[in-house]
Structure 1
Amino acid sequence: MLPPLKALPVFEAVARLNSFSRAATELNVSQSAISHQIRVLEDYLGESLFQRQGRYLALTQEGKNYLDVVSSSLSHIARASNQIRGEEDTKIRIAVYSSFAVCWLMPRLSDLQHKHPNLDITITMTHGSPELSDKTADCFITTDTEKRGFEYQLLYKETLFPVCSHAFYEQIKNTLNVTSDELSKRLKDEPELLENFPLITSNGIYNEYTEDWRSWFLERGIPLSNNIKFHKFSHLILAYEAAKYSLGIALVNDYMFSDKDTHSALVRLPSHRIYTNDHFFFSYKTSRRNETAIKALKQWILNEASSLNTLA
């Protein structure tokens, strides 16, 4: 048996706006009408959907679970109705890791706009893995492949390699008294030479400072020295910026640094790279795979990302 259908968009609005009064304004009804519909729905379900303490309003656990289903269902109904009416939905929201958004997606948005001028895209940056849910976004860049009902298109298998600024690169050559060709040969044979220079570490990937460099050295059977000077940053973007401003040598990945970018502020040092355990995917609900906006964005991102794994 279906619940009282008039109450569902009211519940979604209150939950999304976290306010009875703002929901009333959006739906152009009185606040008492909003309260009545929520009470009708709670009576039908036999559960409280909101916790109310004075001005404080929050979803209960039952409310959170119910919102995910209701929000998704209402979105499906709206999109299906628009398609029948011949109204193509070009609005799309994508949730992206902050480093991926800033370093890879932003520089390419003008190309996306040129190729898909009608696409109305909203970008949300996330520090950790975004919650795969319609209430978060329509599609995602994620390393999480555990959510049922979603499709995943592989974009990139993450690797890390050392980079530094052009000025710091010259400092390395001068300190070691070598040419660029000689430095290339020596670093391939003796990666431990980097222990003589400040190294930049972040804890965003390995969740612990210096573990990125420990893994890099161990790839060549070299234990991490206790004498290395480290600059520590909480995020890979900060490590990238620190390297750009000549604080030392950082480990970055392909989407933050392109060998084809002749204007890059960083120089890739001629040495080995390591694979992390992270694979990046473009993800979206399987039930939404035929939507015009998702199909357009997916094809564009896959085309743009095709060069990432060719750099290894």
Structure 2
Amino acid sequence: MDRLPLNSLRAFEAAARHLSLTRAAEELHLTHGAISHQVRALEALMGTALFLRRGRGVVLSEAGQHLAGTLTAAFGQIDQAMQSVRRQAAGSLTVSVLTSFAARWLVPRLERFHEAHPEIVLNLQTSRQLADLRRDGIDLAVRAGRGAYPGLDTRFLMSEDLYLVASPRLAGGLPKTLDDLRRYTLLRDSFDDWEMWCKAAGVDIKTLKFGTAIQDSAVLLDLVAGGGAIALARSVLAASDLATGRLVRLFDVQVPRVFSYWTVTLPERRDEPAISRFRAWLEAEAAAFEATALV
């Protein structure tokens, strides 16, 4: 066979996937007759039937099943390769991150990435919803969790701790003892790690007074900075506010958070240059941040 009959192979693969010549014609923007002609031409070339009629429909023959599985995988790999080349040629990278993580940690550092890699155009998507990398066209995502993400190439980025924070201008003054916490309004975020912190501090959570539950952790820190409440903060998100004095830590009780930060990408794309460079930069920034936090 000197040349592959690509048109016939494509028509057969679509018809086999749908088990319908009509739906294959719709997908490939051809007529029903054109699909039928391509399939018959392929069967003549192969010397065997690829479809068998069953009532008003068709099913794949044994030879058709073997060829269809191989073709679907092959066309899928070709499509992925073309998309990869297109993305690399464009020099763009789409990254999905939590809104709070972007606002409090990532965005203030991005200028350093642009300086190091001016050839990469970064598209940052922020959301509280979990992105589907394949469906949503996401190149890389940063997730907060336990690191169990089936079907994805996952690498640890950094962990974080939990501690109490308040504004230095907290209404009523800063609490001096753990028992004083009963006099203040305390805020929760969507992760609600208060029970774990109270257990470590030896505080009965039932004696505490909680205010509004805030879904976005960055918004929660803004409310605390206003001076009306105390909150349990995540070290990665609160670090910049502590550094500027906008917030202060309360007490010495600090507990490791159950969730950590991870970078995830599709396994077949992990070695793409733009993904590898951004991932390496993130890991270097995270390592520098953690080293500073330990000082």
Tell me the TM-score normalized by structure 1. 0.64
> Closer, same or farther in 2 for the Cα pair 1:113/1:198, shift >3 Å?
same
Q: 2:267 aligns with which of 286, 295, 298?
A: 286
Whether 2:225 is the aligned partner of 1:244: answer yes
Give the alignment of 1:84-233 within 5 angstroms.
Answer: 88-133=89-134, 135-142=136-143, 143=145, 145-168=147-170, 171-173=172-174, 183=176, 190-202=177-189, 204-206=190-192, 212-226=193-207, 228-233=209-214
CA distance in 2, matches of 1:304, 1:260: 18
Structure 2 residue runs of 5 or longer lacking an equivalent are: 1-7, 15-24, 40-50, 52-73
CA-atom RMSD in angstroms: 3.8
Number of residue pairs aligned between Structure 1 and Structure 2: 242
Which residue identity does 1:114 align to in structure 2? E
Larger C-alpha radius of gyration, 1 or 2?
Answer: 2
Whether 2:6 is the aligned partner of 1:4: answer no
What is the aligned partner in structure 2 of residue 18 from structure 1? none
CA distance in 2, matches of 1:259, 1:234: 20
Which residue identity does 2:287 align to in structure 1? S
**Which piece of structure 1 moves more, 233-242 or 146-155?**
146-155
Q: 1:37 aligns with which of 5, 23, 29?
A: 29
Q: 1:79 aligns with which of 78, 84, 98?
A: 84
Structure whose residues are more often helix by fraction = 2
Structure 1 residue runs of 5 or longer lacking an equivalent are: 8-32, 47-68, 177-182, 184-189, 207-211
Which residue identity does 1:131 align to in structure 2? D
Which residue identity does 2:124 align to in structure 1? I
Displacement of 1:115 in angstroms is 1.5
Runs of 4+ in structure 1 displaced over 4 angstroms? 33-36, 38-44, 69-73
CA distance in 1, matches of 2:146, 2:29: 37
CA distance in 2, matches of 1:71, 1:266: 51
Confirm or deny: 8 A CA contact 1:132 1:147 kept in the other structure. Answer: no
Tell me the TM-score normalized by structure 2. 0.68
Whether 2:273 is the aligned partner of 1:266: answer no
CA distance in 2, matches of 1:288, 1:96: 18
CA distance in 1, matches of 2:276, 2:267: 12
> Closer, same or farther in 2 for the Cα pair 1:35/1:77, shift >3 Å?
closer
What is the percent sequence identity of the aligned residues? 18
What is the aligned partner in structure 1 of residue 62 from structure 2? none
Confirm or deny: 8 A CA contact 1:96 1:124 kept in the other structure. Answer: yes
CA distance in 2, matches of 1:5, 1:104: 51
SS at match of 2:243: coil
> Closer, same or farther in 2 for the Cα pair 1:78/1:220, shift >3 Å?
closer
SS at match of 1:195: helix
CA distance in 2, matches of 1:96, 1:72: 27
> Closer, same or farther in 2 for the Cα pair 1:73/1:240, shift >3 Å?
farther
> Closer, same or farther in 2 for the Cα pair 1:293/1:227, shift >3 Å?
closer
SS at match of 1:172: coil
What is the aligned partner in structure 2 of residue 30 from structure 1? none
Q: Deviations over 1:211-259 (max 9, x none)?
A: x323211112321134525243222122111101112111111221227
CA distance in 2, matches of 1:200, 1:96: 23
